[in-house]
Amino acid sequence: MPANQPIGVFDSGIGGLTVANAIQKLLPKEALVYFGDTAHLPYGDKSPEAIKYYSLKIAKFLIDEGCKAIVIACNTASSLAYHDLKLFLGTQIPIYSVIDPVVEYMTASNQFKNIGVIATRATIKSNIYAEKIHLQKPEINVKSLATPLLVPMIEEGFFNDQISSTLIHTYLSDPVLQKIDSLILGCTHYPLIRNEIAKYYQPEISIIDNTEIVAKHLQKELKRMNLLN
């Protein structure tokens, strides 16, 4: 696979652009092909079968576009379709989820003991963050909360206003998320409201979004495979 081929990035909507922007910033010589599946937005309330079907169709499209690697810039698709996509792609091109690099980052340090996770219903139901974190560090306490109204709110442009502040406060004040030392933004839409989330917590906890973490992981992997442009 030539190194000058593009990197494919996909999500259910605009959220994955946060990952695409981080990749573009870190790797400015790389060309990107972005697919935002707004026709089926949001993925968070779809069945696992539907998410796998949509993801496979998009992967085929990105292959046809000549992509040298694919980034699933969606936590829901990463949690439910990653393994199917990996089997489908085989050795054709590498594919990366947005979940594994974050889990690696969180478990590489002894800093995090009580981790909160906010994400779509489908991602939370999969329990993927807790399972993967506990495989590395079973002593870490993971508290997960589904926040299904955030993606539609962000897609409609209702953020950085009173509506978003009220909804974010309602979710973050949930008893499930009390006494955490860090919060994983388990949806690529959520970095768009990172400042509002940080404002709620002040500097008390670490807010973890996967954009830069995923971009750095991709850079390392492409370099390892001699695929950096």
Choice among 19, 71, 74, 93 that is catalytic:
74
123, burial (CB in 10 Å: exposed 0-12, middle 13-18, buried 19+): buried
Rounded to 5 degrees, φ, ψ at 80 are -110, -20
- Going by C-alpha positions, the residue among 188, 220, 216 that lies closest to residue 72 is 188
| Greatest CA separation for the chain | 51
CA distance 53 to 87: 14
Torsion sign across C-alpha atoms 128, 131, 134, 140: positive
Choosing from 187, 197, 214, 222, the catalytic residue is: 187
- By the 8 A CB rule, do 214 and 96 touch? yes
74 catalytic residue (yes or no): yes
- Helix 48-64 with 75-89: angle, nearest 10 deg: 60
**Annotation says 187 is catalytic:** yes
Structure tokens at 199: 């404002």
The dihedral sign for the CA sequence 58, 80, 82, 216: positive
Cβ-count burial of 206 within 10 angstroms (0-12 exposed, 13-18 middle, 19+ buried)? middle
**How far is Cα of residue 106 from the mean position of the Cα atoms in its chain?**
14
Catalytic positions are: 74, 187
